[in-house]
Amino acid sequence: MRDYLQQLAATGDLVTIERPIDPRHELAAVTRASQRRDDRALLFTQVKGTRMPVVTNVYGSRRRLAAAIGARPSGFCRRFAQMTGTPPDPGHVSRTEGAEVDLEHGHLGDLPAITYFERDGGPYLTSPIFIAREPDTGVANLSFHRAMIVSDQELRIRLGATHDLARYQAKAESRGQALEAAILVGVPPSIFLAACASVPYDADEITVASQIEGRPVPMRRARTLDLSVPAEAEIVIEGRILPHVRRPEGPFGEFMGYYVPVQDNHVFEVTGVSWRRGAVFHSLLCQSPEDIYPLEFAIATRIYRQLSQQVSGVLDVAVKSALLATIVQIRPEYDGHARRALLAAVGTHLDYNKMVVAVDEDVDIHDYEDIFWAFLTRGRADTRSLVLPDVPGFYRDPMKDHWGRLLIDATKPRGREAEFERKRIPGEDSVRLEDWLG
């Protein structure tokens, strides 16, 4: 991550803030205000209560995320699907063991203790990537799970029921065993993106990271676990998820904009904390662009991969995760093409398609004003929308608030495309306002 931060500094995408800042609410408040202004990353060098600097909004830019994999923003899904969906070549070396790292050892209390939202139950780790091995096959999994700091010895974590790590833990727990895992904070972009990626259960995500990086991932042995961890991780928290133990966790301000209430969740027993000398702590503000954009790109890639195998003419996919909405961009080829794409999209990811909209290639799939402009100006509202009742939705929904589907065809009427040609001003895309306005 340090190399990446140097790149961001060189391109003007990183702002260094040397003024002392309080990790309780103030750091989050400054982060949010900055994100409303622009997409630059922030490096806080003087965070009260810790010697470690804190960086945030590292991945809060669609432009930077696409550049990290050598793609344009509009081509992210296609490129990421190729990188994460292609089996490695025979003989592909995905990792090297025994990397030498200059480490310091300490406790959770040495790390920044950041409290983000008003009613949060305490300080949280919000960017932690868990690495664990499948109990039977040993395949490595990388996944994000929030962690509430309780003490130097204990974290309380939320394992989503649909995540592979939850399946690993359930398998270990059925045998009365704890699941060993390490938490990585501050990782190279390849590890971050591999943790975001949606890959088969039996896929090794360190191999995925090496495919993204284009080189083997340097690994080192954990100090207290029988586990290898990425050597370039800034901070590693070692421990184990206890079997048959659940304790209160929360509240926490989640990605939809609401608080998740206090619930009995899993307990992570800390066995060791280490960091690279001069480590930088990665803070991620939940529901911010840095939280939403990587999740949306990863989900959109999964939907794009499955949908393009079923329906022709699929150009791109966008997901608005906080709205549980999916936008499918197609090049219509026949009557009913858009509806077919909409129906097929419903089955690709039941968590994030409460609403699915099909649009033409001239619509910005990340701009909801543009999307609904297309729907409301290109035809009837009643015949171009469809409600599917009682379809199960987001996995964490005990009251069934997210059941049902709304499908919207916002494409141009077949055979009348010329009537809906968008007006253009020649040269508008090449105007440099600073040449005219200073």
Please list, residue by residue across 380-408, b when 16 or more beta carbons sit within 10 angstroms of its beta carbon and e when fewer do: eeeebbeeeeeeebbeeeeeeebeebebb
Distances in Å between the Cα of 277 and the Cα atoms of 53, 105, 226, 244, 354 are 12, 10, 23, 36, 46
Average of per-residue pLDDT across 372-390? 93
pLDDT of res. 298:
87
Average of per-residue pLDDT across 97-124? 95
The CA distance from 49 to 420, in Å, is 59
pLDDT of res. 315:
94
Strand, coil or helix: what is 249?
Answer: strand
Average of per-residue pLDDT across 276-294? 94
Average of per-residue pLDDT across 97-120? 95
For residue range 111-126, what is the model confidence (pLDDT) as tens digits?
999 999 999 999 999 9
Please give the share of the chain, as a percent, with pLDDT higher than 70.
100
Domains and CATH numbers, the chain: 2-289 (2.30.110.10), 311-413 (3.40.1670.10)
The CA distance from 352 to 307, in Å, is 14
Distances in Å between the Cα of 116 and the Cα atoms of 32, 158, 184, 215, 408 are 10, 17, 20, 36, 36
Residue ranges of the alpha helices (H) in 261-323? Answer: 289-310
The residue among 250, 118, 136, 134 whose CA lies nearest residue 199 is: 134
Cβ atoms 210, 142 nearer than 8 A: no
Residue located via tokens 């205000």: 33
In eight-state DSSP terms, residue 116 is -
For residue range 314-342, what is the model confidence (pLDDT) as tens digits?
999 999 877 889 999 999 999 999 999 99
Q: How confident is the model at residue 128 (pLDDT cuts 50, 70, 90)?
A: very high
Average of per-residue pLDDT across 204-210? 92
For residue range 339-362, what is the model confidence (pLDDT) as tens digits?
999 999 998 887 778 999 999 999
pLDDT of res. 70:
87
For residue range 145-200, what is the model confidence (pLDDT) as tens digits?
999 999 999 999 999 877 899 999 999 999 999 999 999 999 999 999 999 988 88
Q: Assign residue 317 a region: left if phi > 0, alpha if psi is -120 to 50, beta otherwise?
A: beta
pLDDT of res. 392:
82
Worst-scoring range by mean pLDDT, 76-80, 217-221, 224-228, 383-387?
A: 76-80
For residue range 60-78, what is the model confidence (pLDDT) as tens digits?
999 999 998 888 877 888 8
Strand, coil or helix: what is 38?
Answer: coil
The residue among 125, 203, 139 whose CA lies nearest residue 168 is: 139
For residue range 75-90, what is the model confidence (pLDDT) as tens digits?
888 888 888 877 777 7
The residue among 275, 271, 180, 187 whose CA lies nearest residue 236 is: 275
What pairs with residue 42 in β-bridges?
15, 56
In eight-state DSSP terms, residue 322 is G
For residue range 34-49, what is the model confidence (pLDDT) as tens digits?
999 999 999 999 999 9
- E strand or H helix at 156, and its extent? strand 154-157
| For helices 205-213 and 189-196, angle between their N-to-C axes, nearest 10 degrees | 130
